[in-house]
């Protein structure tokens, strides 16, 4: 799976803002307690049309898939993930556009 990342993580262009999943960073959670986060499908909302939409959103811990949801076109450009944060987790969000491939955002996790 080829994963796209921004050319300059400190200064995303509009195309990158549309494709990188966007959520509050750092994520804040409690060790071992379920956490639900709403992820925006793009800091600039990505299209949600049948011919061009975000097909799935996944959360990885390092190389391990934690959860993945399939997304249908036509809805709001957002999706909700539920997972259980643990100390030492290295969260990455991945989103697949039907045209422009998989895009990734690394997150920081704060365990309270
Ligand atoms: Fe796209």
Beta-strand pair 78-83/35-40: antiparallel
Is the pTM higher than 0.85? yes
C-alpha 73 – ligand 1 centre gap (Å) = 12
**Within a domain: 39:** yes
Q: How many domains does the chain have?
A: 1
Domain that residue 51 falls in: 12-111
**Within a domain: 6:** no
C-alpha 8 – ligand 1 centre gap (Å) = 19
Strand partners, 81: 37
Q: What is the CA radius of gyration of the chain?
A: 14
Contacts of 59 (CB under 8 A, 6+ apart): 65, 66, 67, 68, 81, 83, 91, 92, 93, 94
Instruction: State the pLDDT at residue 106.
Output: 94
Instruction: State the pLDDT at residue 53.
Output: 98
Q: What's the chain's length in residues?
A: 112
Per-residue pLDDT of the chain (112 residues; tens, 9 = 90+): 899 999 998 899 999 999 999 998 899 999 889 999 999 999 999 999 999 999 999 999 999 999 999 999 998 999 999 999 998 999 999 999 999 999 999 999 999 8
C-alpha 101 – ligand 1 centre gap (Å) = 7
Instruction: State the pLDDT at residue 40.
Output: 98
Q: Domain of 49: which CATH number? A: 2.60.40.730
> To 10 degrees, the CA torsion angle through 3, 46, 70, 104?
20
Contact 95, 57 (CB under 8 A): yes
Instruction: State the pLDDT at residue 64.
Output: 97
- d(Cα 100, Cα 19) in Å, to the nearest integer? 8
Instruction: State the pLDDT at residue 21.
Output: 97
**Within a domain: 69:** yes
Instruction: State the pLDDT at residue 44.
Output: 98
């Amino acid at each position: 799976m080829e994963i796209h990342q921004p050319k300059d993580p400190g200064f995303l262009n509009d195309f990158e803002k549309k494709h990188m999943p966007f959520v509050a960073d750092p994520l804040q959670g409690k060790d071992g307690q379920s956490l639900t986060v709403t992820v925006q499908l793009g800091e600039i909302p990505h299209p949600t049309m049948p011919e061009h939409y975000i097909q799935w959103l996944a959360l990885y811990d390092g190389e391990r898939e934690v959860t993945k949801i399939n997304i249908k076109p036509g809805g709001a450009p957002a999706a909700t993930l539920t997972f259980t944060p643990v100390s030492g987790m290295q969260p990455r969000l991945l989103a697949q556009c039907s045209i422009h491939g998989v895009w990734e955002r690394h997150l920081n996790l704060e365990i309270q």
